């Protein structure tokens, strides 16, 4: 409700740039909160399945070299909250 009140207050001031600025700030703050709550995503190389199977010997596999076999990677921007 507070966000809606701020947007309505900015809209009453009459400046379209103010409304745009408030909306951008709200979106960025929401993204930052989501980074703190959910810093990990599926690995972009293996799509969360950390094993790569061989094409000739189909039962043999190796771990994904991008994620080290964890199947996950940090989201863009999450490192600034993790101190890495």
Please give the model's pTM, rounded to 2 decimal places. Answer: 0.60
Residues, the chain: 84
Q: Where are the domains of the chain?
A: 1-37, 39-84
Instruction: Name the E strands within the chain.
Output: 40-42, 51-53, 61-63, 72-74
| Residue 1, pLDDT above cutoff 60 | no
Express each pLDDT in 8-42 by its tens digit.
Answer: 665 566 567 777 888 888 899 999 999 889 999 99
- What whole-number distance in Å separates Cα of residue 81 and Cα of residue 84? 8
């Amino acid at each position: 409700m507070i966000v809606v009140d701020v947007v309505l207050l900015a809209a009453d001031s009459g400046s379209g740039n103010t409304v745009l600025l408030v909306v951008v700030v709200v979106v960025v703050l929401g993204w930052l909160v989501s980074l703190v709550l959910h810093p990990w995503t599926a690995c972009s190389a293996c799509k969360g399945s950390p094993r790569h199977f061989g094409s000739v010997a189909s039962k043999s596999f190796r771990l994904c070299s991008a994620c080290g076999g964890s199947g996950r990677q940090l989201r863009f921007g999450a490192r600034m909250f993790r101190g890495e």
